[in-house]
Each structure stands twice: as C-alpha cells, then as structure tokens.
C-alpha cells in the first residue's frame, strides 16, 4: 500500500518561506557591521512590535549614533523598547538619559513622563521596602512641576495619590504592629504621632488618632504603680484630641467607654487641710 506525500497548502508554504527568509535576514544583519542596515532593520522591527529582536540590534548601534542626527530617535525608541518589554529599571534609566541628552526634543515631555512612570511601576506592595516608591513619587512630582500644563498631568497626579496611599498604609500598619505588642506601646504612640504629622489628609487619620489613644491607655494601666496616674492623664489628653475631630464616628462610643474607665482610675489629688 502506497501513501501519497501530503501536500501543504500554498498559503502555508508561502508563510514558512517568508518566515525563514525574515529570520535569515535578521541573522545576517545582526552579524554584519553595517550600522545603517542595523538601524533601518531595528526601526522596522520596533514598528512591528518585535521588541526583543529590535533590542538586540539597538544594543549594538546605540553607542555609534550618540551625537548624530539619528541618535535622538534611536535613543527614544531604545528607552521605549525597554518600557514595552516591562524592564522598568532600564527604561527609567534610559528615558532619563534621553531627557538629559535632548532637553529640547519634542519627545522630552513624553520621555520625562515615562521615566517617572517606570519608577512608579517599580514600587512594590506596601509591606516591602518603599525605597522605589519614594523615588517614584520624587520623579512624578518633578514631572508635574516641570510640565504643569501637560495632558499627562492628571494621570501623574493619580499615580502620585496611589504611591502616597501606599506609604500611608505602610506607616499605619507599622504603628498597628507596635500596638499589638505589650512592649511596643511606647513605640506605637510615637509611630501614630509621626503618622498624624506626616499624613494630614490620610484616610487612616481617624484610626491613627484612636490608635494613639488606645496605646496610651494600655501603657498606663500596665505600668508600675508610680507611673500609672501620670500616664492616665496623658491618655486622657489623647482622648480629647480624638473627640475633637472624631466624636461622632464609629469609634466614638468605644473611645468614650475607655475614657470612662480612665476617669474611674484617676485619683483626685489630696487637698491641703484649711486652718
């Protein structure tokens, strides 16, 4: 029994031919020293969204084109290739290099924004070290200050708000962790104090006022007898600060209950007998 050789449809054959031809052409350009061909081919691949292949060519030719007329475009798409590949460390670095090398470029504003957004993308979840978050905030604010009328300003402000809330949550959670520790109550009071000062518009502000009051109360009732009265009075002061702003909130009744316990524990000072 004989089997006839299977014939591939003409369309598939053409596609395979084009693909193999394209791959061999890419390899030839990659291996040769013709900078002009590398530039043209890299630009073509970039426009087609073939960023990994384009990047290999760009890495070979970027040094040769610095300071030349084609260098401005090449440096921008080089940075943007890293951005599209989600390599935000290198995209941030390369976009910053672009803005320094071509401050008058028509692409300088976009490059500045994408540099800042690259650092925003590097910001980790709130529970981790926030060094990159701080840098992202710094770069976004620099962009807003430099381009106050940019059409990217609204997005930049949104990103700033997101990063600030992440820092707020980080600081608040640190204070709350101290509050849960018997030997961390002093640190909790300090942490809540710093939070209230550093984040005046935070959505966690009410909880920070209450947390400071609760920490002071716990510290007072668990102190050695000689310090109890002094610390109860301090806790009472924190209660007054809380109810000044948040008396009618969901935490108000609980705070008042604790306050009543404080009042029952405070010993009235003895008065001198009159003669």
- The pLDDT value recorded for residue 261 is 96
Q: Where are the alpha helices (DSSP H) in 66-184?
A: 71-84, 88-101, 108-121, 131-146, 153-179
Q: With cut-offs at 50, 70 and 90, classify the pLDDT of residue 27.
A: confident
Q: What is the DSSP letter of 32?
A: S
Q: What mean pLDDT comes out for the span 151-161? A: 97
CA–CA separation, 139 and 177 (whole Å): 30
CA–CA separation, 37 and 29 (whole Å): 7
Q: Which of 219, 212, 264, 262 is nearest to 242 (CA)?
A: 212
- The pLDDT value recorded for residue 130 is 93
pLDDT in tens, 77-124: 999 999 999 999 999 999 999 999 999 999 999 999 999 999 999 999
Residue 266 predicted with pLDDT over 70: yes
Average pLDDT, the chain: 90
How far, in Å, are 40, 51, 75, 95 from residue 78 at the CA level? 13, 9, 5, 9
Residue 3 predicted with pLDDT over 70: no
pLDDT in tens, 231-240: 999 999 999 9
pTM score: 0.80
Contact 231/216 with Cβ under 8 angstroms? Answer: yes
């Amino acid at each position: 029994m004989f089997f006839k050789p299977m014939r591939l449809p003409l369309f598939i054959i053409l596609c395979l031919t084009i693909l193999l031809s394209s791959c061999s052409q890419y390899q030839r350009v990659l291996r040769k020293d013709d900078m002009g061909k590398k530039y043209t081919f890299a630009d073509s691949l970039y426009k087609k969204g073939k960023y990994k292949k384009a990047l290999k060519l760009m890495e070979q030719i970027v040094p040769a084109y610095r300071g030349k007329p084609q260098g401005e475009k090449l440096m921008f798409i080089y940075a943007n290739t890293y951005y599209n590949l989600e390599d935000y460390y290198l995209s941030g670095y390369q976009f910053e290099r672009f803005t320094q090398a071509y401050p008058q470029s028509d692409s300088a504003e976009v490059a500045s924004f994408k540099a800042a957004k690259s650092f925003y993308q590097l910001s980790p979840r709130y529970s981790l070290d926030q060094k990159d978050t701080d840098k992202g905030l710094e770069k976004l604010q620099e962009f807003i200050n430099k381009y106050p009328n940019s059409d990217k300003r609204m997005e930049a402000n949104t990103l700033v708000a997101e990063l600030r809330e992440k820092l707020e949550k980080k600081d608040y959670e640190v204070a709350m962790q101290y509050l849960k520790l018997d030997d961390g109550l002093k640190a909790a009071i300090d942490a809540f104090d710093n939070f209230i000062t550093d984040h005046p518009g935070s959505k966690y502000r009410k909880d920070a006022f209450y947390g400071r009051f609760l920490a002071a109360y716990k510290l007072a009732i668990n102190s050695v007898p000689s310090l109890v009265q002094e610390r109860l009075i301090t806790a009472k002061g924190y209660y007054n600060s809380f109810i000044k702003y948040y008396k009618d909130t969901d935490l108000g009744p609980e705070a008042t209950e604790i306050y009543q316990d404080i009042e029952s524990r405070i010993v009235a000072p003895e008065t001198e007998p009159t003669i």
